[in-house]
Structure formats: structure tokens, C-alpha cells
Amino acid sequence: MTKRLILHVGQSKTGTSTIQDFFAHNRRRLGREAGVLYPQAGRQGAAHHRIAALFLPAGNAAWIRREDAASLRASLDEEVAQSSADTVVVSSEALFNARSIDDVRTFFDGFTVEILVILRRQDRWLDSLYQHQLKVGETDLEPQAWLAARASTLNYAGRVGRWADVFGDAHLHIGVFEPANLSGGLMAFFFRTAGLPVPADLDEPPARNERLSRHALAYLRAARRDLAGPERQRLRRALEQWSQANPDPAPWRFFFSPAERADILARCAAGNAAVARRFLPSGDGVLFHDTAIETAFEPYPGLSPEAAAAIERAVAAMAVE
């Protein structure tokens, strides 16, 4: 019997790390009790990034270890053959940027492939992504310059449609990442979106809280010239802890102003309606029901000497714990 394979392709900043951690940590139980295989093949950490790397443009995602496609497929086939599970789940948000969807289909030939995409409202996704890229050193651009460079990523109709054009509309599952859908927990939301029974006694993993406050980000960016590798990673972890204890005031929470966020949503409205009409069962053209735009906003004033000194003391104290 042909195995069903659910290919979770992102997008990023929609709880992907938490989802992948859950599957990786519960893989034996899921195989035994839910008939779901989360393969070891192609994984880097908890996600199947080494499979995703096969389909990324040359030079992208240099942090992913590369592996031969034939070897990866052979390892995957071996695991599937040894498992009694009816469903295979493969997850990497890097697949959202796959170069050729036809190549993805070819790699997974022999499976009944279903694509799972989780979409977040564009303005909130951009804010979270920009914060992440500042934190890991992927950008030094100021908010408006960075935003202008991301315009091509906001067309969800095009980005989702290319998967459906290859695998078929009926094989595409879309989850909408907003509070009403997440009230029962992230993993229950994932299983429902995939059309899988929600496991009994589901142990929801704690959500990762890795956001840095504006002061912590400014401190990290100032330290970037002097730190690299493990030392920089240790500093990031210390700043994450400091940020949880010293969160931003509400007006600093967003990088983009209410007017900028409203403009983003206005530019995306037609495409979002097209996604909803094509893929959601309601057929009403509404992709995101949560349309509120937070109005508390003021530009970040910069890292003060007092804040820098407070962070310096906290980081030093954490280093000796």
C-alpha cells in the first residue's frame, strides 16, 4: 500500500521549531500509538533540513549540511520499510523556498504526498522574521530598507499556488496561524490541519520564547564585530533569558508602525482572498479573521548607557551560574 506522506513546508515563524521538537521527541510513541513515522533520515536537529537543502537555490542556507539525494532517499525508504506506520511526516520550513516543486515531487515519487502550509498574517510574520534575522546576524538593514527587500515574499497566492499546481489543490492543507485556531494548542492545531486524529493525552510542548527585547538586540548588534561562533551563541542565550525578565514596553513591541502594517495588509488583501477562496472550505474569501492592528507604537530610541550597563551585569552574572 502506498504510504501517505505529509510534507510540512512552513512557513517559518509559525511554531515550526516547536512542532519539529514535538515530533522528534515523541517519534517512538507516535509510531506505536498514532501510526505516524517521523523519520531520522534527512534530519538536522529536529527538522528535515537536509532534505530541504536538495531543493534550495545554490548558495542558500549554508548552515545546512548537504547530502546526496540518492543516499537520503535510500535512508528514508529503509526507515519506511521497517515501520508499520501508515503516515510519514517530513518537516522543514526551508522547503517554503524550494527552487523547483517538480523536483520535490520527483524525490518523493512512490508516496501519496500531501502538502501542509501554515500561514501567518503578513505584517506579524514580517515583524517576527525581521527580529529573528537581526538576532542571528542575517541582516543589518534598518526596518524600512529590509521591508522593501521582502516585497516578493508576501504573495501567498503565488507561493502556495505553485505547490498546488504540482501536487493538486486537494492535496494541499492550509493552517491559519492566529489565536482562535491555536486556542486548543499548537500540536492539536497541526494534527487537525493535517487531517490526522489528535493523539489522546496529547502533551503540548512549551512554546519556545526566543525573542530578544529591543535593548537586547541593540546590545547584540553592537557586540557582533567582536563575537562569533559558540561565544556569540552563548551571548544570545543569555540575552534571551534577560529579555524574558525584561520585556519590551508595548510601544516598542513592533518594528513597523501601524500605518506600515496597514499598508502591508492592504497590498496583500487580494492575494489572501484568492488563497481563501481556492483552498479553504468556507469559500468566503477570508484568510485571516484576526484583523486588529495594534496601535501602541513608538520608534525605538536606542540603547541607553544605563540599559547597556544593566545587560552587561546580567550577562556576567549568568556566565558564572
Please tell me the predicted confidence (pLDDT) of residue 140: 87
107-161 residue pLDDT tens? 999 999 999 999 999 999 999 999 999 988 889 899 999 999 988 889 999 999 9
The CATH architecture to which 4-124+152-194 belongs is 3-Layer(aba) Sandwich (3.40)
pLDDT band at 224 (very low <50, low <70, confident <90, very high): low
249-277 residue pLDDT tens? 999 999 999 999 999 999 999 999 999 99
Stretch 208-212: mean pLDDT: 79
34-70 residue pLDDT tens? 999 999 999 999 999 999 999 998 777 778 888 999 9
Please tell me the predicted confidence (pLDDT) of residue 228: 67
What is the dihedral angle through the alpha carbons of 82, 197, 205, 290, rounded to the nearest 10 degrees?
A: 140
Please tell me the predicted confidence (pLDDT) of residue 320: 61
Stretch 94-102: mean pLDDT: 95
Model confidence pTM above 0.75: yes
Domain limits, the chain? 4-124+152-194
Average pLDDT, the chain: 92
With b meaning 16 or more CB within 10 Å and e meaning fewer, what string describes 301-318?
Answer: eebeeebeeebeebbeee
Rounded to whole angstroms, the Cα distance separating 135 from 242 reads 14
